[in-house]
Amino acid sequence: MFETLTGRLGEVLNRLTKRGALSEGDVNEALREVRLALLEADVALPVVKRFIDEVRSKAVGAEVLRSVTPGQMVIKVVQDHLVEMLGKAQAEIDLLAPAPVPIMLVGLQGSGKTTSCAKIARLLSERQKKKVLMASLDVARPAAQEQLRVLGEQAGVATLPVIAGQMPVDIAKRAIQAAKLQSFDVVLLDTAGRIHIDEALMAEALAVRDAVQPHETLLVADALTGQDAVRLAEQFHKRIGLTGIVLTRMDGDGRGGAALSMRAVTGQPIKLIGIGEKLDQMEPFHPDRIASRILGMGDVVSLVEKAAETLEKEAAEKLAAKMEKGTFDLEDLASQLRQMRKLGGMQGVLSLLPGVAKVKKQLADSGVADKQLARQEAIISSMTPWERRNPKLIHASRKQRIARGSGATVPEINRLLKQHRQMADMMKRVKKMGKAGLMPPQGFPPGLMPRR
């Protein structure tokens, strides 16, 4: 489904790219597809409308018409605006308050509060060396308190001993008291899942909030949430007052439109994202990374942009010069491999290319590709500079030496050399195409793009 949409979007944008100037009609046509892409990604409708209007006012006009490639400009405006709306600056958990700093987690049932609680506790205790106490206020779901206790053991974080039958507000007060006495830095309060329209449970959350005055109140929400995302974020924010959002299940194949919706209606930053079931799989949120995922359009243009950002300018220029001459040796391949890793490995690069969703999935499943990149780098490092510049001269005994040096096998070295030959061939083709002004074929490694 997404593939076809991506394809369609790609078509429209491609058409734009080939034109010299943009009319309002062109922009509107592209934005209709962008609107669909956003809706398919579960961005809430009011947010989509606002977004489209804002992009239209930016895109139609001199800014675009004056640019050399209008199609790219539209994509860039869309992308930039998406990043802007997602929050440009990276936000962190704020601990600037007298210890113990109370942090409260709220959210719907099954959004991943308890797991996130343990993950955040681990993050704070390991990276920031904070002494953290966790307490479960979930007296509704069977065995919820037990779950947090077990997770605490796994994460090496203290949990408040459970007193059967105690009510949430009392547990919260007891947690703060215990944290003061035992000089903890942070108290994480995991609350029961509640639906934002359940008055009784919302009142309970309010009572807890008033009792402990949390310094941070984080909404834990599922990245797979649909249109309901705006309503739930709005309600939680209005009733309890949020200071940030934690998005879970970002490792799913959902496109995470909920991120945009929730950020837009609450104005609160997304502080952390959960990217796996293990306790160390929680990361800071990078708006730019999710922007293209929400659009699902993985355009080559942004790949070029990203490559240009990450590549050292010199390396790029050197490469351009080599391309002019049509030479491409193993030194270049090694620098390619390094740059690829900077771009987030094979997966990162592939997610930027259109029409490779399947390949990407297979890669993710195997987990092989990125390891291979590192291995190939190791092989090249075991060569002498002379060998790197003259790969044709690497014969059997040299191969054996390289294999010993890099811990690889001779067949692996052969594969690498073959790959290099293929890439060198491709370079020649690109050089010809570059002169004809064509885009390179799909799946082409970054940095090899002809530069305009």
Partner 1 sequence: MSETEQTEEKVGWLRRLKQGLRRSTGAFSDGIASIFTKRRLDEAALAELEELLINADLGPAAAAEVVENFRRTRFGKEVTPEEVREALAGEIAALLAPVAVPLPFLPQAKPQVILVVGVNGTGKTTTIGKLAQNFRKQGKQVMLAAGDTFRAAAIEQLQIWGERVGAPVVAGAVGGDAAGLAFDALKRAKAEGCDILLVDTAGRLQNKAHLMAELEKIGRVLKKLDPQAPHATLLVLDATTGQNALSQVEAFLGVCKVTGLVMTKLDGTARGGILVALAKKYALPVHAIGVGEAAEDMQPFDPLAFARALTGAI
Q: Name residues contacting partner 1, limited to 191-210 (CB under 8 A).
A: 195-197
**What are φ and ψ of residue 236, in 5° steps?**
-60, -40
Residue (of 253, 252, 245, 255) closest to 285 by Cα position: 245
222 binds partner 1 (CB under 8 A): yes
Residue 194, SS3 per DSSP: coil
Long-range contacts made by residues 159-167, C-beta under 8 angstroms, separation at least 24? 159/133, 159/134, 159/135, 160/133, 160/134, 160/135, 160/136, 162/136, 166/139, 167/139
Beta bridge partners of 188: 103, 134
Q: Which is nearer to partner 1, 361 or 451 (CB)?
A: 361
Q: Which is nearer to partner 1, 197 or 321 (CB)?
A: 197
Q: Name residues contacting partner 1, limited to 373-392 (CB under 8 A).
A: none
**Options 14, 211, 254, 322; binder of partner 1; rule CB under 8 A:** 254
364 binds partner 1 (CB under 8 A): yes
Q: Which is nearer to partner 1, 234 or 329 (CB)?
A: 234
Q: Which is nearer to partner 1, 40 or 331 (CB)?
A: 40
296 binds partner 1 (CB under 8 A): no
Residue 92 beta carbon to partner 1: minimum distance, rounded to whole angstroms: 25
Q: Which is nearer to partner 1, 224 or 242 (CB)?
A: 224
324 binds partner 1 (CB under 8 A): no
426 binds partner 1 (CB under 8 A): no
Written as one string, the DSSP assignment of 270-314 is: EEEEE-SSSTT-EEE--HHHHHHHHHT---HHHHHHHHHHHS-HH
225 binds partner 1 (CB under 8 A): yes
Task: Give the whole-angstrom CA distance, residue 439 versus residue 10.
Answer: 13
Residue (of 266, 206, 258, 203) closest to 234 by Cα position: 266
Residue 8 beta carbon to partner 1: minimum distance, rounded to whole angstroms: 12
Q: Which is nearer to partner 1, 187 or 229 (CB)?
A: 229
Half-sphere exposure of residue 276: CA atoms within 13 angstroms, side-chain side: 6
In degrees, rounded to 5, the angle at the alpha carbon of residue 261 between the alpha carbons of residues 224 and 77 is 110
Q: Name residues contacting partner 1, limited to 52-71 (CB under 8 A).
A: none
Q: What size, in residues, is the chain?
A: 452
Task: Give the whole-angstrom CA distance, residue 290 versus residue 286.
Answer: 7
Residue 396 beta carbon to partner 1: minimum distance, rounded to whole angstroms: 39
Residue 84 beta carbon to partner 1: minimum distance, rounded to whole angstroms: 23
**What are φ and ψ of residue 172, in 5° steps?**
-60, -45
Residue 353, SS3 per DSSP: coil
Stretch of 75-83, 162-170, 220-228, 407-415 contacting partner 1, by CB under 8 A: 220-228
281 binds partner 1 (CB under 8 A): no
Stretch of 76-84, 138-146, 183-191, 381-389 contacting partner 1, by CB under 8 A: 138-146
**Options 34, 151, 242, 265; binder of partner 1; rule CB under 8 A:** 151
Which residues of the shown chain bind partner 1 in the complex (CB under 8 A)? 1, 36, 39-42, 44-45, 108-112, 140-144, 146-151, 154, 195-197, 222, 224-229, 231-232, 249, 251-255, 257-258, 277, 361, 364-365
